[in-house]
Amino acid sequence: MCGRYMLYYDKDVIIDAFNLMNEFDYDERYNIAPSQNILTIVKASNGNRAGYMKWGLVPKWADDPKIGYKLINARSETVDEKPSFKESFYKRRCLIPASGFYEWVKEGNKKQPYQFSLVQKKPFAFAGIWSRWAGEVDGKEEERITCSILTKSSNSSMEKYHHRMPVILEADEGDVWLDRYTEKGKLLSILHYNNPELFVEQVSSELNLNTR
C-alpha cells in the first residue's frame, strides 16, 4: 500500500516536469498522510493544471464521506471493476506528484520506516483517480473533491520491504495516464508493467510523530 509520502522538489521543478499551466500554492512536505489535502494534477482543456484534493476517495454515490478513510489506495488489478473506483478510472484520472514514499518494516519489536525514491532522483507522480462528492455533513451541504493512489504488486526493488507499492509514473507515462482518450488496454499496461528502480534508505523511527 501507500500510506505516507513526501514532496519536496522546488515548485519550478514540478511545474516544468508536468507542464503545469496554472498558479498554485505550494509548500515542501516531508510526511504527507491520508485525509490531508494533497497536490494533484488533472488535464484540462488548456493543459495540465494543479490543485488540491483530499486524500481518501469518496465515491459520488456514498452515503457517508467517512468511507474515504478506507479508500486511500485502489488496487490496479481491479480498479476498472470495483464499484468504488470504476467510474473514476474511466473518467477522472489524476497524477499525484511525489519525491518519494515511506514503508514500515517490522524489525524485532519495532517497525522501522524506510524511504523510497527513484534511483535517478527525478520527479515522478503516483497514478491516481479522483471523485467529486456532494452531500450533507453535520446538517450542512458540503462538496468534497477526493482522490486515491493506485497500487500494484511490488517489484524487485520493493518486495523485501512490502508486497505492495504505489504505481509510479514518470512524466511521459503521466501524460498518457491523464489523456482522456487513452484506451483501456494502454492504461492497464501502464499500471501493471512499469518497473521503476528504487533507491532505499532507512529513516528515523520518529517519522510517525511528525505529519505535515
pLDDT in tens, 12-42: 999 999 999 999 999 999 999 999 999 999 9
Q: Quick one: angle between helices 171-178 and 184-193, nearest 10?
A: 150
Q: Which CATH number fits the domain that encloses residue 129?
A: 3.90.1680.10
pLDDT band at 209 (very low <50, low <70, confident <90, very high): low
Distance CA 196, CA 129 (A): 20
Distance CA 149, CA 95 (A): 9
Query: What are 86-125's pLDDT values in tens digits?
Result: 999 999 999 999 999 999 998 888 899 999 999 988 889 9
- Please say if 2 is a catalytic residue: yes
Q: Is pLDDT at 1 greater than 80 in this prediction?
A: no
Active-site hit among 2, 94, 147, 173 = 2
Dihedral of CA 65/71/76/79: which sign? negative
pLDDT band at 139 (very low <50, low <70, confident <90, very high): confident
Q: Give the domain extent around 36.
A: 5-209
- Please say if 143 is a catalytic residue: no
Contact assessment for residue 198 and residue 116, using Cβ atoms and an 8 Å cutoff:
yes
Active-site hit among 94, 103, 147, 173 = 103
Total domains present in the chain: 1
